């Protein structure tokens, strides 16, 4: 398809995002299974929900053909924000919970490297430590696509 969108359209209200790849294909993403799941496969209710949301916003995309779909396991924390942190076990560091709309892997890599190299969190990931749950200091990240 010829260029039609040059931004990432991210609509948290309906849990859908769409962007166009350099090859011209549209890349469409949606929500998670409505339940905890280890099935690691596509799931029709979520697929239908995502496509319905897409067509609500861009009715012209009705004429497109689907090329392929992806389904897999994603992990997320209680507050739907990542964990970039040291742990109670010495020299064990974790970076996880990278799901949804938190498209910040460059900063995630830098702050995780800083945490490992210096033993203390970078100012940017101080609030993303594992022990935030102990104090109920949740990080409610506004760009999260599917925290709904």
Partner 1 sequence: MMILDCPWCGKRPETEFHCGAEAAPPRPRDPGQLSDEAWVDWLTNRRNPRGPMEERWWHQRGCGLWFTIRRDTATHELLPPEDGAS
Q: Binding string to partner 1 for residues 68 to 87, with x set by CB under 8 A, is what?
A: ----------x---------
Nearer Cβ to partner 1 (36/118): 36
Q: Does 44 bind partner 1 (CB under 8 A)?
A: yes
Cβ contact 93:63 at 8 Å = no
> Are 80 and 141 in contact, with CB atoms under 8 Å apart?
yes
Considering the complex, what minimum distance in angstroms separates the CB of residue 85 from partner 1? 15
Q: Of 113, 84, 88, 110, nearest to 97 (Cα)?
A: 84
Q: Which of 8, 39, 42, 127 binds partner 1 (CB under 8 A)?
A: 39
Stretch that binds partner 1, among 9-17, 36-44, 82-90, 101-109 (CB under 8 A): 36-44
CB of 24 to partner 1, least distance (A): 33
Q: What distances in angstroms separate CA 120 from CA 25, 53, 70, 82, 137, one per listed residue?
A: 42, 42, 37, 17, 18
């Amino acid at each position: 398809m010829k260029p039609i969108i040059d931004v990432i359209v991210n609509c948290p209200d309906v849990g859908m995002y769409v962007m166009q790849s350099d090859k011209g294909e549209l890349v469409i993403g949606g929500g998670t299974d409505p339940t905890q799941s280890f099935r690691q496969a596509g799931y029709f209710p979520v697929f239908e929900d995502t496509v319905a949301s897409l067509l609500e916003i861009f009715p012209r995309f009705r004429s497109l053909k689907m090329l392929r779909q992806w389904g897999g396991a994603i992990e997320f924390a209680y507050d739907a924000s990542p964990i970039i942190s040291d742990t109670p076990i010495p020299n064990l560091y974790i970076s996880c919970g990278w799901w949804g709309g938190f498209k910040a892997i460059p900063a995630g890599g830098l702050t995780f490297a800083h945490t490992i190299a210096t033993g203390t969190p970078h100012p940017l990931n101080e609030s993303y430590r594992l022990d935030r749950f102990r104090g109920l200091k949740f990080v409610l990240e506004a760009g999260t696509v599917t925290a709904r």
